[in-house]
């Protein structure tokens, strides 16, 4: 896990973009009606992964911004109300904290997506925003939870570990030589 502010930023960017990328694949697949076709998600094409990169590039920035402003803090605060990070199993605490953060971030990012994609770009009435937002949360929450637990978080931790474990080993070798 991150030990410095720089490492925290790198981990936050990895997590934000892996969440944004996965959720954009899911939402574009729904929008393009892959689920309605025979085979469902099995009908995805390579093109969707390129198309998603564009939307994920700016949605990842929103995720990073809002997770740093309140998502991570509120998720941690809620987790600490129900578990003790120093006494409870560290792995279970981390999973619970992730779940709590998803519980904050999914409604936040669903609101951002509802405003951006439905109101601004699709021209729907702002008066419909509450209904659009609720529908977006209901659609996205199960996927956000599962994607975070089983894909984005393990991926982000693995990449973070590769980056900083390699860096630590290199620094240790330099220290040994001097």
Digit-coded pLDDT (tens) for 101-142: 999 999 999 999 999 999 999 999 999 999 999 999 999 999
- The radius of gyration of the chain from alpha carbons, rounded to an integer in Å, stands at 19
In tens, the pLDDT along 40-92 reads 777 788 888 888 999 999 999 999 999 999 999 999 999 999 999 999 999 99
Higher pLDDT, 172 or 134: 134
Length of the chain: 178
Q: Which two tokens stand for residue 124?
A: 């729907």
Q: What is the pTM of this model?
A: 0.86
Chain centroid, CA 131 distance in Å: 23
How far the first Cα of the chain sits from its last, in Å, is 28
Contact in structure between 129 and 119 (CB atoms under 8 Å): yes
């Amino acid at each position: 896990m991150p030990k410095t502010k720089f490492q925290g930023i790198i981990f936050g960017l990895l997590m934000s973009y892996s969440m944004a990328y996965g959720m954009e694949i899911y939402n574009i697949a729904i929008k393009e009606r892959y689920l309605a076709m025979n085979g469902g998600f099995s009908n995805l094409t390579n093109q969707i992964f390129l198309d998603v990169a564009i939307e994920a590039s700016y949605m990842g920035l929103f995720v990073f911004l809002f997770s740093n402003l309140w998502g991570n803090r509120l998720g941690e605060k809620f987790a600490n109300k129900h578990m003790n990070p120093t006494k409870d199993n560290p792995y279970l605490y981390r999973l619970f904290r992730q779940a709590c953060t998803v519980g904050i971030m999914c409604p936040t990012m669903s609101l951002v997506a509802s405003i951006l994609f439905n109101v601004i770009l699709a021209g729907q009435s702002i008066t419909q925003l509450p209904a659009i937002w609720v529908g977006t949360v209901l659609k996205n929450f199960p996927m956000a939870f599962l994607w975070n637990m089983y894909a984005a978080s393990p991926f982000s931790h693995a990449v973070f570990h590769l980056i900083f474990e390699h860096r630590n080993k290199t620094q240790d070798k330099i220290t040994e030589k001097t």
